[in-house]
Amino acid sequence: MSKILIVDDEDFIRDMMKDFLEFEGYEFFEAENGEKAFKLIDEKGDEISLIFLDYTLPDIKGNEFIKKMLEKGIKIPVILTSGLADNLVLSEDERQVVKATLSKPFNLDNFLKILKDIVGS
């Protein structure tokens, strides 16, 4: 079963995503900032199928998070979310791992379709 890492500093978003993923049969880990996310990736990276990443975290921006992932050789697919996702411009390097961007607020059915396209059922 696919395990999703939810990285968002908003409790409401994490709780909503956890409830939704659990309902859809997915397992998950959660982190409210980049530091905790990288700790989980270091510990459980081989179990993580996808990272649901908020672009604006208290300790790191999405592009910096992705750069650090690539520097560490981490190639876990990412769905990047932001209130400004429509305005995000991704570099070639970032597109290696960022498989989709979603503007907040987003439709959960659309998220589920993207999730299944990336990790399967």
- Model confidence over 89-110: pLDDT tens digits? 777 888 889 999 888 888 899 9
pLDDT at 1: 67
Range of the domain at 25: 3-119
Cα–Cα distance for residue pair 117/82, rounded to 1 Å? 20
pLDDT at 71: 95
pLDDT at 13: 92
Which residue(s) pair with 41 in the sheet? none
More confident residue, 121 or 75: 75
Cα–Cα distance for residue pair 5/37, rounded to 1 Å? 8
pLDDT at 80: 93
Closest of 2, 17, 92 to residue 53, by C-alpha: 17
* Reported confidence tier of residue 120, pLDDT bands at 50, 70, 90: confident
Number of domains in the chain: 1
CATH number at residue 96: 3.40.50.2300
Q: Is the pLDDT of residue 27 over 90?
A: yes
DSSP, collapsed to helix, strand or coil, labels residue 91 as: coil
Closest of 107, 103, 55 to residue 78, by C-alpha: 55
- Answer for the pair 54, 13: CB distance below 8 angstroms, yes or no: yes
